[in-house]
Amino acid sequence: MESIKMTLSEKIDRELEMALQEAMQDKDFADLVKRLRINKKMAKNNNSSLQDTCNELKNCRICQGLFMCKNKLNGHVLYPSVDGDSIKFIYMPCKYQKVQDKAETLKNDSLNDIKNAAMNKIDATDKTRLPVIKWLKEYYDNYEKVNTLKGLYLHGTFGSGKTYLIAALLNELEAKKNALTEVVYFPELLRNMKEDFSVVEDKIRYLQNVDILLIDDIGAESVTAWGRDEILGTILQYRMNNKLTTFFTSNLNINELEMHLAITKNSEDKVKAKRIIERIKQLTEDLELISINRRN
């Protein structure tokens, strides 16, 4: 019986040895093993996971953003960490995920500023902001409770105060003209909906009907067909049909946004992206804001 056990053990070890030899033919795999400074036994026992890491690193090498991520966990790489005689595999954020995480931290830090934003607090000394400020003032002056005024697609440099400017207008309209307004950070909205599908229908209905809606930081989300077509498309179609004012902020101009929306993780669909862009154009006027980074 003992000899049979040894034979089985030897057979398994031989298969692991052959699998490792085959894997070592891949230069990326061999380089990873060398970089980790692990012995043959550790490499054999973790061969499958190490190959997963190699494949994900190869994906990262040709990736141009979170919207193109092909890894198991979006924006992350399964990476090995050597701990004595064992290897632990943890998900590490890629460079694009780190940028997004930093942006979201800054976004959360600025929420209180947005809640307290007011038009009389807007810094008008920066001349690059004057066209936007003029547009917002004219909108405020012309606003009525029942209105068909177009909103604004405000795009430009990171940290230039796009969200603050529009939030200041919305706060004034809510306080002085009884408008019902809502600001949604678009990437977070999609994440919350994915985490709890029971709220999706009610959320969509509310965002379809609120008097004035700001969809903040569109273009920063990871694009999926579901988020683009079922969520964003459904909301925008209703608001367009009912002429409800909708605002957008983005770091992307309208053409860049169209390219962003066209590519999901598993496919490319220019027609559906163009359909979203046409709705945005129907709902908004377009202004650019190139200014200093006010978050520094």
d(CA 186, CA 261): 13
For residue 2, the model assigns a pLDDT of 46
Contact of 168 with 202, CB cutoff 8 Å? no
Backbone angles phi, psi at 290, to 5 degrees: -110, 110
Pick the CATH number of 110-289 from 3.30.70.580, 3.40.50.300, 3.40.190.10, 3.10.105.10: 3.40.50.300
Residues 240 and 170: their CA atoms lie apart, in Å, by: 19
* Distance, CA of 179 to CA of 205 (rounded, Å): 18
Pairing relation of β-strands 86-93 and 245-250? unpaired
Q: What pTM value is reported for the model?
A: 0.64
232, 193, 240: which is closest to 216 by C-alpha?
232
More confident residue, 131 or 103: 131
Residue 111: per-residue pLDDT: 66
Provide mean pLDDT across the span 150-169.
Answer: 92
Bridge partners, residue 76, by sequence: 93
Count Cβ atoms below 10 Å from residue 66 Cβ, excluding itself.
Answer: 19
- Other Cβ atoms less than 10 A from the Cβ of 259: the count is 15
- Cβ neighbourhood burial of 125 (10 Å; 0-12, 13-18, 19+): exposed
Q: Which residues pair with 284 in a beta bridge?
A: 151
Determine the angle formed by the axes of helices 130-142 and 162-176, rounding to 10 degrees: 20
Residue-wise pLDDT for 226-254, tens only, equals 999 999 999 999 999 999 999 999 999 99
Domain ranges of the chain: 2-97, 110-289
Alpha carbon distances (Å) from 99 to 75, 95, 167, 218, 285? 10, 6, 24, 16, 29
Given a cut of 60, whether residue 75 has pLDDT beyond it is: yes
What is the per-residue pLDDT for 227?
Answer: 94
Strand order in the sheet with 245-250: 181-185, 212-216, 245-250, 151-156, 284-289
pLDDT for residue 148: 79
What angle do the packed helices 254-262 and 270-283 form, to 10 degrees? 150
* Torsion angle of C-alpha atoms 265, 270, 271, 274, degrees rounded to 10: 110
**What pLDDT, on the 0 to 100 scale, is given for residue 84?**
82
What separation in angstroms does the CA of 98 have from each of 34, 65, 66, 105, 224? 27, 11, 11, 11, 20
Secondary structure (3-state) at 87: strand
pLDDT category at 8 given cuts 50, 70, 90 is: confident
pLDDT in tens, 185-223: 999 899 889 888 888 999 999 999 999 999 999 999 989
